[in-house]
Structure 1
Amino acid sequence: MPRRRTLGALAATLVVLAPLGWFWQQSLVPDGLSAMDMGYADYGGGPSMPAGHHHGSSLADLKPAADRAADVSVRLVARKERFEIPGRGSMAGYTLNHTSPGPQITAKQGDLIEVTLVNESVPDGMTLHWHGVDVPAAEDGVAGITQDAVLPGQTFVYRFVAADAGTYWYHSHQLSHEQVKKGLYGVLVISPGTADVVAAVHTYDKVRTVNGGYGDRRVAGAPTVRLRLINTDNGPMAAWVDGAGYRVIAIDGTAVNAPTPVEGKSVLVTAGGRIDLEISLPPGKAVRIGLGGGPTTLVIGEGDAPTGREPTERVDLLSYGKPAALPFDPAKADRHFEYRIGRRPGFFAGKPGLWWTINGHQFPDVPVFMVAEDDVVTMTVKNTSGQVHPMHLHGHHVVVLSRNGVAASGSPWWTDSLNVEDDETYEIAFLADNPGIWMDHCHNLPHAAQGLVTHLMYEGITTPFHLNGATHNQPE
């Protein structure tokens, strides 16, 4: 009897452990995984791709003409080192040309920008992604998808045309949840004006900064300034103006049609997002920009600036401004996709926990959205995961059609970083006009590292790059 009880206990244990072992094994991300072999193809109701699409054109060839001279040339040397946060002290992290944020890059619309990245001492390798700039696929800077990580001692040259004026930023897309937080980012402004003021908000180890400095930071003003707000953090941020009204004149690099005056309201800048405000300074006075609350603010102009609290009302971008025609008809979409964000218990990369899902699947067994060039695409993004997600599609801007069933009624709301709250549903649309393989992920970067990422894949486009393996590519 004791032996029989022991055998029974062992059998019961195996019954419990065997499924757990299977789920653990299934959760491991294969070494050397290609985006082309990830998950399952979702054709969005459109025609499937012809067999053998893995033998098409390599995205590594999608780049500007090699014989065109650069209009703007920048050399960025990345290092692991300590750097100074004005008003707070020094911290250990990563720098570009010995500073964080890295040097601001400015260019005129139509310029060809050439950036030479030198990795002097970032041990895990790095890349540069041009957040919000619809670059050719080979220049997108995503380790394991569009290039290999640039390892210590290596150099990589990025070349792209600054086709669209606007406010953008750049950051590493190798171990981005760690490297961005610790300093590998900078500002990119295309077609700057003489009265521009940049406010790049970033949190280093719980210390919120603006333009790399802590506390009240002051800059010179003009009668009318264009404030370029950039949120480089992982969560949404409310911003407001104490001492003056403003107009929202651009969202994620795209101009707002017929912006109207705003008084006593904040505007939400989601993670990765950019909002441009036009502010008229009162004569002889300064204004203060509230940046999510706390001690770090930006004062523009001379003299005392009022100090206020975050307004209770917020600008609703769904109805702000006036309508204008779209360059395509979403009602005649070639494909419609669903991007349902959820969460469930289980294993991810061999670790137990609560993990993100896309359409009920965990990374890497997620849907890959398949398109052909010139397709009109609509997508329904629904979040029932319990947390907010700032969703970022590389290589494209999308237009918001509706939120929770309410149709957009203001200026076309073009965005590349969309704040999707829990229990919110957005319908968006875009034109598939930039061939490549593009990440579509949450820009709360730890969420992406936990599997909230998939890809938009064009017919006939392949990639020679892989995750992990000898190249150590880990984009999130």
Structure 2
Amino acid sequence: MKRRTFLASTSALAFLPRTVFAAGEMLRLKAEAVVQQVLPEGEGTTAMLGFNGAMPGPELRLRRGVRAEVEVQNALEEGTAVHWHGIRLENRMDGVPMLTQELIQPGARMTYSYVPPDSGTYWYHSHYISHEQVARGMMGPLIIEDDVPPDVDHDITVLLADWRLQEDGSLINEFSDMHSVAHGGYMGNFARGFLSQSQVSIGDRVRLRLINAATNRIFPLQISGAAGSIVALDGMALAVPRALTDITLAPAQRADLIVDVQEDVAFDMLMRDGSFRLADLAAVGANSDRQPTPIRALAAPDLPKPNTPTQHLTLTMMGGAMGGRHGGDNIWAFNNVSDLQPEPFAAFQRGETVRITLVNDTSFPHGIHLHGHHFYEVDADGALGDLRDTTLVEARASRDIICVFDNPGKWLLHCHMLSHAVGGMRTWVTVA
């Protein structure tokens, strides 16, 4: 990616329209072809896929503990399915073809019905040929609102993604070329952030919800023009807010920040030769009413507490360019096996606490995502660390996670570098 910079002015900013759920109301998403202004205003447009005529799709805002119903209409020329990423929902609503549901065929509809148990920042995206459908734009923010919102002046979503574009704005259709799949995955030559709001005031206290919706790109982020704290990761509130420094988000990971605006807020991707501007949030005027106060923790998530693990498993990532041989029949593998098999990687009883060592025996980082659950990353000293649904494991490194498998069903476990997933790095577990 070249250091091409643009300013997201009001005229160029692509807004994320919000759809707030009312009890008993059916929400509707229409998967369809769209044309989007991805490049700066005045340059070429991009033919993509999206929801409700836009890419990204509308920001859905649901209430914790209130059943939501979302009807998905497929107006594409191919099948699709929608995954509600990070939501601990009923297995049959998870949106994974061949594991939890049949494809939504062209012209057909499916209603997803679930009760979100946790407030926080999530997102939705296609889970059918997702390395291509997500790269074409089939994603959107999913916000589960707090029972008692934090004291902020604005609540702003920032969705980040990248695309491989021609100079005229058209997509380069190389979503699964062998080189990309065997290396870091499909990477765009242009990236940007989509914001739900374009302006704030100096002195405002703002909640920023960052979502990495890219198919493969890891975003090392620097946020300037504001000071504050990280208050949640992958939708789960931190027990103690963490000082805001540079943030790294693997594909599918999220971070919630609460910050005080000091000037125009800039979102930059750090690169070897400098930085790349993803988005700007303009500071217009000043808020003289807001008084500085400590940033408080969000409400703690209500998840089961781990017991002593009854199983300690190892999941080894194998293959890819500059990787060793393995027994799978695709480019990548877990434990010498590629792609979904008739038998699961592991079987658990409901409520069982399990420790899994994730070993990255490859030359590339991987973001490992578990459906239907959150898990604890284990710190270097063996203590329980952050709650995540996607963890980044660097090349030639390992990480332990501990999970209470309390959600019955068949759950996908895969690399969320979606090129690696289609290249074989996916398996599943079952919870009785």
Q: Shared topology, TM-score over 0.5?
A: yes
2:252 corresponds to 1:272: yes
Distance, in Å, in 1 between the alignment partners of 2:302 and 2:383 is: 13
Instruction: Please report how far the alpha carbon of residue 408 of structure 1 lies from its aligned counterpart in structure 2 after TM superposition.
Output: 4.0
Partner residue in 1 for 2:36: 83
Kindly indicate whether the alpha-carbon contact (under 8 Å) linking 1:70 and 1:114 is maintained by their aligned counterparts in 2.
Answer: no
From 73, 92, 96, the counterpart of 2:26: 73
Give the root-mean-square deviation of aligned CA atoms.
2.8
From 220, 232, 243, the counterpart of 1:261: 243
- Secondary structure in 1 matching 2:408: coil
Change (3 A) 1:209 1:287: closer
Partner residue in 2 for 1:389: 366
2:424 aligned partner, one-letter code: G
Distance, in Å, in 1 between the alignment partners of 2:154 and 2:370 is: 30
Change (3 A) 1:288 1:260: same
Change (3 A) 1:325 1:406: farther
Instruction: Please report how far the alpha carbon of residue 378 of structure 1 lies from its aligned counterpart in structure 2 after TM superposition.
Output: 1.0
Change (3 A) 1:123 1:212: farther
2:81 aligned partner, one-letter code: T
From 289, 292, 296, the counterpart of 2:267: 289
1:186-197 maps to which residues of 2 (within 5 A)? 186-191=140-145, 193=149, 195-197=154-156
From 126, 129, 133, the counterpart of 2:87: 133
Partner residue in 2 for 1:445: 418
Instruction: Please report how far the alpha carbon of residue 250 of structure 1 lies from its aligned counterpart in structure 2 after TM superposition.
Output: 0.1
Instruction: Please report how far the alpha carbon of residue 401 of structure 1 lies from its aligned counterpart in structure 2 after TM superposition.
Output: 1.5
Distance, in Å, in 2 between the alignment partners of 1:324 and 1:86 is: 38
Distance, in Å, in 1 between the alignment partners of 2:266 and 2:346 is: 43
Change (3 A) 1:84 1:297: closer
Measured against aligned partners, the alpha-carbon deviations of 1:105-131 in whole angstroms (never above 9, x if no partner) come to: 0022222111100011x2221111000
Distance, in Å, in 1 between the alignment partners of 2:221 and 2:309 is: 35
- Secondary structure in 1 matching 2:419: helix
Distance, in Å, in 2 between the alignment partners of 1:325 and 1:94 is: 36
Structure whose residues are more often helix by fraction: 1
% same residue: 29
From 124, 132, 141, the counterpart of 2:78: 124
2:223 corresponds to 1:245: no
2:228 corresponds to 1:226: no
Change (3 A) 1:348 1:423: closer
Kindly indicate whether the alpha-carbon contact (under 8 Å) linking 1:79 and 1:94 is maintained by their aligned counterparts in 2.
Answer: yes
Change (3 A) 1:326 1:248: same
With a CA cutoff of 8 Å and minimum separation of 6, indicate the structure with the bigger relative contact order.
Answer: 1
Change (3 A) 1:151 1:226: same
Structure 2, gaps ≥5 residues long: 1-21, 165-187, 287-297
Instruction: Please report how far the alpha carbon of residue 197 of structure 1 lies from its aligned counterpart in structure 2 after TM superposition.
Output: 1.0
Partner residue in 2 for 1:172: 126
- Secondary structure in 1 matching 2:281: strand
Change (3 A) 1:298 1:182: same
Structure whose residues are more often strand by fraction: 2
Distance, in Å, in 1 between the alignment partners of 2:195 and 2:265 is: 20
Change (3 A) 1:166 1:348: same
1:204 aligned partner, one-letter code: W
Instruction: Please report how far the alpha carbon of residue 324 of structure 1 lies from its aligned counterpart in structure 2 after TM superposition.
Output: 12
Kindly indicate whether the alpha-carbon contact (under 8 Å) linking 1:202 and 1:212 is maintained by their aligned counterparts in 2.
Answer: no
Instruction: Please report how far the alpha carbon of residue 296 of structure 1 lies from its aligned counterpart in structure 2 after TM superposition.
Output: 2.1
Distance, in Å, in 2 between the alignment partners of 1:107 and 1:291 is: 30
Larger Cα Rg: Structure 1 or Structure 2? Answer: 1
Instruction: Please report how far the alpha carbon of residue 348 of structure 1 lies from its aligned counterpart in structure 2 after TM superposition.
Output: 6.8
TM-score (norm 1): 0.70
Measured against aligned partners, the alpha-carbon deviations of 1:122-148 in whole angstroms (never above 9, x if no partner) come to: 222111100011110010001111111
Change (3 A) 1:164 1:116: same
Question: Which segment is superposed worse, 200-209 or 356-365?
Answer: 356-365
Partner residue in 1 for 2:110: 156
Kindly indicate whether the alpha-carbon contact (under 8 Å) linking 1:286 and 1:303 is maintained by their aligned counterparts in 2.
Answer: no
Kindly indicate whether the alpha-carbon contact (under 8 Å) linking 1:167 and 1:274 is maintained by their aligned counterparts in 2.
Answer: yes
TM-score (norm 2): 0.76
